[in-house]
Amino acid sequence: MIARTGYTGEDGFEVFVDSDRVGQVWDAILEGGGNAGVLPAGLGARDATRLEAALRLYGNDMDETVNPYEAGLGWTVKLDKGEFVGSEALARVREAGPRRTLIGLKSEPGSIPRHGAAVMSEGRRTGAVTSGTHSFFLGFPIALAMVEVSSFRVGDKVAVEVRGREAPAEVVKLPFYRGSARSAVAPGKA
């Protein structure tokens, strides 16, 4: 089965195959796509591209303590489609507004924000990094961070804890890039 899905933010496909044929299919894809530049890539590459597309990762950017509105996924909640487990609680969150929100951060080369790192504003901790890496496509470190909802706006300067020191970072618009041909949107512009 081939599905037009994926977890990289790219325009691609996922191939589902019986386990006893995986090697054969893998080899055929690499051989058939070799002239087009098809190469294998690992989990690190997948994680960097999903972060560039601001795709949330369960266990990092969201978990059972983060509601869809805090994770920036309120658009997936259809409260008008009828009752479901948690619909009353989500209706209250939507009405009151979330306490926290997920933001994008761009930092300076060599200062990669990592999961759990403090996000600081005016000397006060206002949140924490949920995912961070160096974006090879964009050429600088990027991160998602869960912060107090009223803390920051696009363009604000903040500090992020990196290896025991505070490193400068800027709040940027998500996603870090748009499009299937890896056409970048300059952070903070749209």
DSSP, residue by residue, 84-117: -TTHHHHHHHHHH--SEEEEEEEE-TT----TT-
- Predicted confidence band at 179 (pLDDT cuts at 50, 70, 90)? low
Note the pLDDT of residue 178.
76
> What is the pLDDT at residue 180?
55
Among residues 100, 109, 5, which one has the least CA distance to residue 55? 5
Measured in degrees and rounded to the nearest 5, phi and psi for residue 140 equal -155, 165
Under CATH, domain 50-172 is a member of which superfamily? Aminomethyltransferase beta-barrel domains (2.40.30.110)
Domain boundaries, the chain: 2-40, 50-172
Q: List, in sequence order, the alpha helices (H) in the chain.
A: 22-33, 43-52, 87-96
Instruction: Give the C-alpha separation, 10 to 52, whole Å.
Output: 10
Residues 13-39: pLDDT tens digits? 889 999 999 999 999 999 999 999 998
pTM value? Answer: 0.84
Q: What is the pLDDT of residues 52-65, one digit of tens each?
A: 999 999 999 999 99
Pairing of strands 124-135, 165-172: unpaired
Distance spanning both ends of the chain, measured CA to CA: 36
The mean per-residue pLDDT over the stretch 112-133 comes to: 96
pLDDT at 165 over 80: yes
pLDDT of residue 156: 95
How high is the pLDDT of residue 1?
92
Q: What is the pLDDT of residue 30?
A: 95
Which tokens is 157 given?
A: 């300067």
